[in-house]
């Protein structure tokens, strides 16, 4: 059995339960791609899932939803992608209520993923930039839809400096036609947040929501602060909270839709440089430093996205052909079994 390097945990707990070791390389099912991971991004859900059994799975669990990488094999039913394609996506389809999230996430050298969950990586983006986008941008977009955002509305974004917030701000005018956008963050991040298109940035360490003398059509809360932030929403305004449970009775919870199509639709904006991935200015964390990367995102103070790069690369051509021959054998076996069953 071919093995790969992966980060995994075998019990729930703090980041220290994470281990780097050898796990079997997965094989793609008929509708799946087999991808060599080149970069991944962390999301708060990776930590929440590790801390307690919100999505009970068998151990070992490899954390990670977001990735960018290269297709090195595919199942027989894959139509849209070929070996050699550079792809990116969130491999965990949280919307499928009857299915558990994948046991093997993206903090590994190789992953398998359904072709409908990924998109071709725009050439203008590095693997790291691409990996930073999927889960956060899918969440950001869904919030506008959940609250039925209308062109020309004004909005207040709580948490404009986070992984989701930096994208909500960029999309507000670009995709959804917001007329006026105000956002909150702490003192050191005011300038940082301004660059994502906010007309005004409120330093929440100096100004309380009650002292903001404006009311907004749409309150988009990315930190679950609606108990307090609700005062900036107009009486008939939409209030969207992406944290669970929603932090005010008026707030509607918004959960992301996972799909490669969403990413594909963003391609022109990314290629024109109108939508920019936001990697934390500290820079990327190397694959060997995943525990430190989790330590940082778990402070709740990240600037944009926390990204992991420098995944160990093998001698691909030789390695690839060995793995692919194993996959081919597996697929042939499955096909053979299917034929046998049909004949009986
Ligand atoms: N429903 C869904 O589908 C979905 C999807 C993705 C994420 N989420 C959830 O949404 C939340 C945000 O996710 P994320 O990826 O954006 O997290 P993140 O990147 O870790 O967010 C960190 C940011 O939050 C800001 N922040 C913290 N408290 C704040 C406050 N009181 N006011 C303003 N800003 C504040 C911090 O800025 P300062 O240092 O300036 O405070 C920091 O920049 C998490 O709870 C996550 O689990 C839900």
Q: At residue 332, does pLDDT exceed 90?
A: no
- Answer yes or no: pTM beyond 0.75: yes
Sequence spans of domains, the chain: 3-133+277-340, 136-253
- Judge if the upstream peptide bond of residue 245 is cis by omega within 30 degrees of 0: yes
Lowest mean pLDDT among 93-97, 110-114, 270-274, 333-337: 333-337
Of ligand 1's listed atoms, the one at least distance from the Cα of 253 is: 1
Asked whether the predicted pLDDT for residue 307 surpasses 90, the reply is: yes
Closest protein CA for atom 18 of ligand 1: 162
Q: What is the pLDDT of residue 95?
A: 80
Give the residue, out of 242, 245, 262, with the most ligand 1 atoms within 8 A of its beta carbon, to mutate for a pocket test.
242
Distance 340 CA to ligand 1 centre (A): 52
**DSSP letter at 122?**
P
Q: DSSP string covering 35-91, please?
A: EEEEEEE--HHHHHHHHS-SS--PSSBB---EEEEEEEEE-TT--S--TT-EEEEE-
Considering only CA atoms, which of 131, 105, 109, 110 is closest in space to residue 119?
Answer: 131
Band the pLDDT of 338: cuts 50, 70, 90: very low
pLDDT of residue 334: 47
- Tokens 């669990």 correspond to 61
Residues 103-109: what's their mean pLDDT?
97
Residue 78 CA to ligand 1 center (angstroms) comes to 35
> What atom of ligand 1 comes closest to residue 48's alpha carbon?
47
Measured between alpha carbons, how far is 241 from 162 in angstroms, rounded to an integer?
A: 14
For residue 278, is pLDDT > 70? yes
Q: 136-253: which CATH topology?
A: Rossmann fold (3.40.50)
Question: What's the gap in Å between 98 CA and the centre of ligand 1?
Answer: 27
Could you identify the atom of ligand 1 that is nearest to the CA of residue 136? 6
Which of 178, 177, 161 minimizes the C-alpha distance to 305? 161
Please tell me the distance between residue 269's alpha carbon and the centre of ligand 1 in angstroms. Answer: 24
> Which residues' Cβ are closer than 6 Å to ligand 1?
43-45, 135-136, 139, 158-159, 161-165, 184-186, 189, 204, 222-223, 225, 242-243, 254-256, 297, 300-303
Which atom of ligand 1 is the closest one to the Cα of 186? 40
Contact 91, 67 (CB under 8 A): yes
Q: In angstroms, what is the span from residue 45 Cα to ligand 1's centroid?
A: 11
Residue 336 has pLDDT above 70, yes or no: no
pLDDT band at 303 (very low <50, low <70, confident <90, very high): very high
pLDDT in tens, 26-80: 999 999 999 999 999 999 999 999 999 998 889 999 999 999 999 999 999 999 9
pLDDT at 339 > cutoff 80 = no
Q: Compute, in angstroms, the gap from residue 272 CA to the centroid of ligand 1.
A: 27
With a CB cutoff of 8 Å and minimum separation 6, the contacts of 285 are 292, 293, 296, 306, 307, 308, 309
Looking at the predicted structure, is the pLDDT value of residue 215 above 90?
A: yes
Q: Does domain 3-133+277-340 have CATH number 3.60.60.10?
A: no
Residue 2 has pLDDT above 90, yes or no: no
Cis upstream peptide for 60 (omega within 30°): yes
DSSP 237: E
Ligand 1 mutation pick, 134, 138, 300, 306, max ligand atoms within 8 A of CB: 300
Q: Considering the chain, what is the average pLDDT of its residues?
A: 93
Give the pLDDT confidence score for residue 118 in this predicted structure: 98
Q: Can you give the pLDDT at residue 1?
A: 79
Candidate of 95, 162, 212, 304 to mutate for ligand 1, largest count of ligand atoms within 8 Å of Cβ: 162
Q: Could you tell me the distance, in angstroms and rounded to a whole number, from the CA of residue 267 to the centre of ligand 1?
A: 25
Q: Is residue 195 over pLDDT 90?
A: yes
- Is the pLDDT confidence value at 272 over 50? yes
With a cut of 50, say whether residue 318 has pLDDT above it: no
Checking if the pLDDT of 3 tops 60, the result is yes
């Amino acid at each position: 059995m071919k093995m790969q390097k992966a980060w995994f945990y075998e019990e729930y707990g703090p980041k220290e339960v994470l281990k780097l070791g050898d796990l079997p390389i997965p094989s793609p099912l008929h509708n799946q791609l087999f991808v060599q991971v080149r970069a991944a991004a962390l999301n708060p859900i990776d930590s929440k899932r590790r801390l307690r059994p919100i999505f009970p799975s068998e151990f070992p669990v490899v954390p990670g939803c977001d990735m960018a990488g290269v297709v090195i094999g595919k199942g027989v039913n894959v139509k849209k992608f070929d070996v050699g394609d550079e792809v990116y996506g969130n491999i965990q389809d949280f919307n499928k209520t009857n299915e558990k999230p994948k046991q093997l996430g993206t903090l590994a050298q190789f992953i398998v993923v359904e072709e409908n969950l990924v998109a071709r990586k725009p050439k203008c983006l590095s693997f790291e930039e691409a990996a930073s986008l999927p889960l956060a941008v899918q969440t950001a977009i869904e919030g506008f839809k959940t609250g039925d955002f209308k062109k020309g509305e004004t909005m207040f974004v709580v948490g404009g400096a986070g992984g989701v917030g930096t994208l909500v701000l960029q999309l507000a005018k670009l995709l959804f036609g917001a007329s006026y956008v105000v956002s909150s963050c702490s003192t050191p991040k005011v300038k940082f947040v301004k660059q994502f298109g906010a007309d005004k940035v409120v330093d929440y360490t100096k100004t309380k929501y009650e002292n903001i003398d404006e009311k907004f059509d749409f309150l988009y809360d990315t930190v679950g602060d609606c108990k307090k932030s609700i005062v900036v929403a107009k009486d008939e305004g939409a209030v969207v909270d992406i944290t669970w449970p929603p932090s005010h009775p008026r707030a509607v919870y918004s959960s992301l839709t996972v799909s490669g199509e969403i990413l594909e639709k963003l391609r022109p904006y990314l290629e024109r440089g109108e939508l920019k991935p936001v990697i934390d200015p500290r820079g990327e964390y190397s694959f060997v430093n995943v525990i430190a990367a989790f330590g940082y995102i778990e402070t709740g103070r990240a600037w944009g996205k926390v990204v992991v790069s420098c995944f160990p690369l093998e001698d691909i051509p030789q390695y690839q052909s060995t793995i692919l021959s194993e996959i081919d054998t597996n697929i042939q076996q499955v096909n053979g079994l299917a034929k046998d069953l049909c004949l009986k």
